[in-house]
Chains A and B, each alone.
Chain A
Amino acid sequence: MTAPDPTATDPGTQADLRLHVDAPVDAPVDAPVDALAEAGRGAGVFDAHHPPSDELISDCVHCGFCLPTCPTYALWGEEMDSPRGRIYLMKLGKEGAVEMDDTYAQHFDACLGCMACVTACPSGVQYDQLIEAVRPQLERNHRRGLADRLFRGLVFALFPYPSRLRVTAVLGELYRRLGLRGLAHRTGAVRLLPRRLQAVEALMPPAKLRHLATRTPAVTPAVGTVRRRVGFLTGCVQRVFFADVNQATVRVLTAEGCEVVAPPTQRCCGALSEHAGREPEALDRARALIDAFAEAEVETIVANVAGCGSTLKEYGRMLRDDAAYAEKAAAFSAKVRDVSELLAELGPVAPRHPIEARVAYHDACHLGHAQGVRSQPREVLGTIPGLQVTDIPEAEICCGSAGIYNLVNPEPAEELGRRKVEHVLSVAPDALATANPGCLLQIRRYWPGDLPMFHPVELLDASIRGVDPVTARGGRGRPSLDARTAEPGTF
């Protein structure tokens, strides 16, 4: 193990940590509670700002029930890349028995944050809270390599900004339409890019130029009697690349009697930052979003992106130290619902038309594992006559998208993506439905051929409007199993 370069991080913090590496775990009860003393009182490699809690760590009894649902354990079979192994590393970190070096950091970076282990754990270990405590610690106290820092900087300078994404989308369309993409792939030039940039290139979805100009109206009235006034989070990637999903969401909500308020001032919710441990950035975004919805006077705040929705529900915890926002954040989180949660709660009123198709439903990790929303999307899809909804084998394992994971860790993400595609193929669906744009892009990247993919709310919208979405998207041309060997990303 190489010792971290002492000049690499903030010298104050570093000197302090080095001093206290061997500090005893048990502190005298009457020790002063200032931050530095706290770091020395057994936080080990972690600083005093919300280190992973000893209580949460000790909930883990090392039974191993988490192993089979952990994507990285499924790939590598290594203890330190399993949930209980990572918790073990946290414990060692707190004891100061290890150093926060590249080896240590890599195992937390490798975690997709899918929370499948939280679902699987019989002891109720809150791994979600543990990993979300560790990531900011790494961001503060571990210096990544230059290339890694630059790439992460690029990702976070682009994705949370719809305006920048729109420009990128236009450039992407030019790249595609001028035949440059085909050329780059035919000549193999694309393979000269670093793996991570290749991942960006491959995942960038085709944008419909007319969608780029689309904006969700600030207020859309309900059809018929108003059953509820709801706020709507339009998302970043969602509003640029999946504007049609947002339109469908608004149509369905209004058809079901909701007045939909989408404050035009809303910006990124901070989910990507939060999941990557960029805490100050995430908190700023959370505060800004709470402010954006402050005047909306809505009963419920609806998200149609699993990753965003799960973070909105966490605002209360994230802002617990902020005297000015703690209460507002908790109240905000209490109002948040995934769109399928709200629709299931309201119950259908708009008449549906049949859709004769077999749809595989993929549980997005941040909907199923993180929010526990599993039955509602199925229930909502079940209101569509003729629609057959099937589950996918090994549903609990992440598809490898996981926020920015498929950009920063392209290799394991690819293995997981292909694995997921195998399982989707095995149920031979006419279409796939999932409530997260990241999953859609990831599965589409490795899908051999063209599978119509939908957000559940799009199917509902089509059913209410009486159009056949599957045929409209060139469906029913089910790829044969031989197509598995076809090159991905050629649609």
Chain B
Amino acid sequence: MTAYTEEYRGLVAWTGGGEVTTAFRREVAALVGEGGLISEPAQLRTYECDGLTGYRVVPALVVLPATTEEAAAVVRLCARDRIPFVARGAGTGLSGGALPVADGVVIGLARMRSVLSVDVADQRAVVQPGVTNAGISAAVAQHDLYFAPDPSSQVVCTIGGNVAENSGGAHCLKYGFTTNHVLALTFVTPDGDVVTLGGDAPDQVGPDLRAVVLGSEGTLGIVTEVTVRLLRRPEAVRTLVADFPDAEAAGNAVSDIVAAGIVPAAVEMLDELAIQACEKAVQAGYTLGCQAALVVELDGVAVEVDEEFAQVQAICRRNGTTNLRVADDAQERARIWKGRKAAFAAMGRISPDYFVQDGVIPRTKLGSTLTRIREMSDAAGLRVANVFHAGDGNLHPLVLYNGAVAGEAERAEHLATAIVELCVEQGGSITGEHGVGSDKACSMTAMFGPDDLTVMARVRAAFDPQGICNPGKVLPTPRLCGERPGPYRPHPLEAAGLIERM
């Protein structure tokens, strides 16, 4: 059975667009100034990939607008000439969502990084898309407020990218994803109109277009202002690290915590390899050699937190914890989190190369899935480290390999893909929070049928009939992905030497 309908093929087909000519460049320069334009070949190369370096495409032009008006004006020029464009924040994404389009324009939002207003009484702030996630919390810390979503890259990733990916983080188990903390967006449509989606009130009349844009990975337009919801800092926060002899025991502890009616702020799990890497990088005090460490954090009203924290400790003991480390103060807690949040990047300490995978499974299948991953890892002869949000079943297996060894990269990629397919098989999903981007577009057919994809393509075409806004991301292109998902084949662009994998 084919994976695509005829309508779908028609909707996602790219029939060719305009070119970035000298005249076009001059027009853009007139809008944003020469300083807002990057066109030297060597400079353009530094924009050829985001946090996923395996895919690289050199853009024709990078534009750095300073205002919504400038961004909209640039988009209007692109729309007029049918030139594809890609929005980019800090370029930390792990699914190639900000991968440029060949001969297209990258609209970088790194210069739009002001906190425009803070409304303390109503617990709202209006920020530009280039403000970092942690920057929002820092800007309102004096009012005892913070922005709850906390992806591990929060010190560098921008709110614009968080909106595009609907980012989560360790604490989204209790507090929800970015979409639960964004009230309104100033949005540049793919034809260059500036509109407001959502509003200050938490509930809007009519269809919630704000929610449609959240998580659309930059395929529906460009967000140039974000009204975020701020939370009051909890009265009490308690954090512990519990070591377990194996992942099964740790998984059971997680299930028991949830079954006891406790909603932790975060439950994270690190396995032996992940602990080894974190300790090498930041010496956060995890036990080397421990097979599975759980980080559990509770927050809220002090009396409630204290009582539940005692319960959590009892549950960990009941499930055979070998060591309980309770953070006594904010510094100790920061240390625990620093280790956890540096985990991906720290893999560089124990392996020359690695793939970060992102899949979701039902929480109850943690133990069995991890056992399967270990079997697959043994069979492939490659190490797999696991760091994940155990509370909501969001796995981040890291497949370690050495790119200098012939054939190892391919084997690692096969294994990474097989792990994601295992997640779907277990009743989960191909991505929890890193997005589909370029990396997993071809895996979409593993989860969605022809009709699902057609509906998605219709939504996209309603916003962007010309198909110029971050094309080639999220929705699979039949011509490039083949008719069915399967083992790795060279991407046609790769075969043509236009992109390469590392």
Contact = CB atoms under 8 A, between A and B. Distances in A.
- A and B pair up: yes
Interface of A: 1, 58-65, 67-68, 73, 76-80, 85, 88-89, 92, 97-99, 103-104, 107, 121-125
13 contacts: A61-B354, A62-B51, A64-B51, A77-B64, A79-B43, A79-B46, A79-B47, A88-B45, A103-B42, A122-B281, A122-B342, A123-B281, A124-B281
A158 to B, nearest CB: 33
A406 B427 CA distance: 59
Contacts of A92: 42, 45
B286 interface: no
Contacts of B90: 64, 67
B348 interface: yes
B348 A61 contact: yes
Interface string B56-98: 0000001010000000000000000000000000111000000
Contacts of B110: 73, 77-78
Chain B's interface size range is 35 or more
Contacts of B49: 62
Nearest to A60: B348
B47, B64, B156 interface centre (most CB from chain A within 10 Å): B156
B40 to A, nearest CB: 5
Given A1-B41, A78-B38, A123 B346 contact: yes
Contact of A124 (B38, B43, B348): B348
B460 interface: no
B282 A77 contact: no
Contacts of B113: 77
Nearest to B339: A122
Given A1-B40, A1-B41, A67 B46 contact: no
Contacts, number: 97
B132 interface: yes
* A contact face: mostly helix, strand, loop, or mixed: loop
B433 to A, nearest CB: 16
Contacts of A124: 280-281, 348-349
Contacts of B38: 78, 80
Question: Which 5 pairs from chain A and chain B are nearest by CB?
Answer: A77-B110, A123-B348, A122-B345, A122-B342, A98-B42
A189 B296 CA distance: 65
B459 interface: no
Contacts of A79: 43, 46-47, 62, 91, 108
Given A123-B281, A124-B349, A61 B53 contact: yes
Given A58-B352, A77-B110, A63 B43 contact: no
Contacts of B156: 63-65, 67-68
A98 B45 contact: yes
A78 B45 contact: no
Interface string B333-357: 0000000001011111100101000
A129 to B, nearest CB: 16
B110, B113, B348 interface centre (most CB from chain A within 10 Å): B348
A124 B342 CA distance: 11
B40 A123 contact: no
Contact of B51 (A1, A63, A80, A122): A63
Contact of A89 (B46, B130, B280, B354): B46
A98 B153 contact: no
Contacts of A68: 132, 155-156
Contacts of B40: 1, 103
Given A68-B132, A79-B43, A79-B108, 16 more contacts: A63-B153, A64-B51, A64-B92, A77-B130, A80-B42, A89-B46, A92-B42, A92-B45, A98-B41, A98-B42, A98-B45, A99-B42, A104-B42, A122-B344, A122-B346, A123-B348
Contacts of A62: 49-51, 53
